[in-house]
């Protein structure tokens, strides 16, 4: 199942907050980083690098992990404006191209999210000892799930997300090495060997990320 990572990406759920009164926000429009995800009490897990472009409505994902007693590696490119998702293998020089019917939704804290808390991660005795974060909670109507999302107070960078569904229970996502911007925009361009006939099966962002990894998700 590939949904673990897409959910994690779909739930970047962030923006820009004020120190005195946290408010709902959006992630920066261009971001690069990594994340780890675990579910089913650690039986399923994945680690991924991502590139996020809200301006061009594009997401690139490289991930590996272990789901349902199977290891997997994925390299996927989502082009929402074109309505296409590519599953790429540079080793075999192969590329599967499928229609993508999901609309692009910029990562943000939804309007119906509730502020749970504002805390300092680490220490607060001196400058540089801690990180001021805001935690929000709410529902995801598209999947029937619930989430608890933590973002930084300054910059609204994702820190972690807890996501619950009846099928998988709690999924824990931790974000790290996040930076603003995308160093190589060429990562959003499919390689030449991807010029192949489109597959008949139409995918959405959830099912596209749910065949090889544990994510039936985002």
Residues in the chain: 218
**Which long-range CB contacts under 8 A does 183-191 form with residues at least 24 apart?**
183/32, 185/53, 187/51, 187/60, 188/51, 188/53, 188/56, 188/58, 188/60, 188/77, 188/79, 190/77, 190/86, 190/88, 190/95, 190/97, 191/88, 191/90, 191/95
Both tokens of residue 138?
A: 């709410």
Domain spans in the chain, listed from the N-terminal domain onward: 30-194
Per-residue pLDDT, 196: 60
Per-residue pLDDT, 197: 52
The residue behind tokens 């999947």 is 143
CA atoms within 13 Å, Cβ hemisphere of 148:
10
Per-residue pLDDT, 187: 96
Per-residue pLDDT, 2: 53
CA 17 vs. chain centroid, Å, equals: 20
Three-state DSSP at 69 gives coil
pLDDT beneath 50, residues of the chain = 7, 10-19, 203-218
Check if the beta carbon of residue 74 is closer than 8 Å to that of residue 64: yes
Which ranges of the chain would DSSP assign to H, the alpha helix? 3-10, 205-208
Task: Quickly name the fold that domain 30-194 has.
Answer: outer membrane lipoprotein receptor (LolB), chain A (2.50.20)
């Amino acid at each position: 199942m590939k949904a673990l990572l897409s959910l994690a990406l779909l739930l970047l759920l962030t923006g820009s907050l004020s120190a005195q009164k946290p408010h709902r926000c959006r992630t920066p429009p261009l971001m690069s980083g990594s994340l780890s995800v675990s579910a089913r009490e650690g039986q399923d897990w994945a680690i991924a690098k991502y590139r996020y472009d809200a301006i061009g409505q594009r997401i690139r994902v490289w991930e590996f992990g272990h789901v349902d007693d199977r290891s997997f590696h994925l390299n996927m490119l989502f082009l929402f404006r074109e309505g296409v998702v590519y599953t790429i293998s540079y080793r075999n020089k192969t590329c599967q191209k499928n229609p993508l019917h999901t609309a692009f939704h910029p990562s943000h804290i939804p309007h119906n999210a509730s502020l749970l808390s504002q805390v300092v991660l680490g220490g607060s005795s001196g400058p540089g000892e801690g990180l001021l974060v805001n935690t929000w909670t709410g529902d995801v109507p598209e999947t029937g799930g619930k989430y608890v999302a933590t973002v930084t107070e300054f910059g609204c960078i994702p820190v972690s997300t807890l996501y619950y569904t009846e099928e998988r229970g709690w999924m824990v996502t931790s974000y790290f090495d996040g930076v603003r911007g995308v160093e190589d925009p060429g990562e959003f361009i499919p390689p030449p060997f991807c010029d192949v006939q489109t597959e008949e099966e139409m995918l959405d962002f959830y099912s596209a990320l749910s065949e090889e990894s544990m994510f039936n998700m985002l």
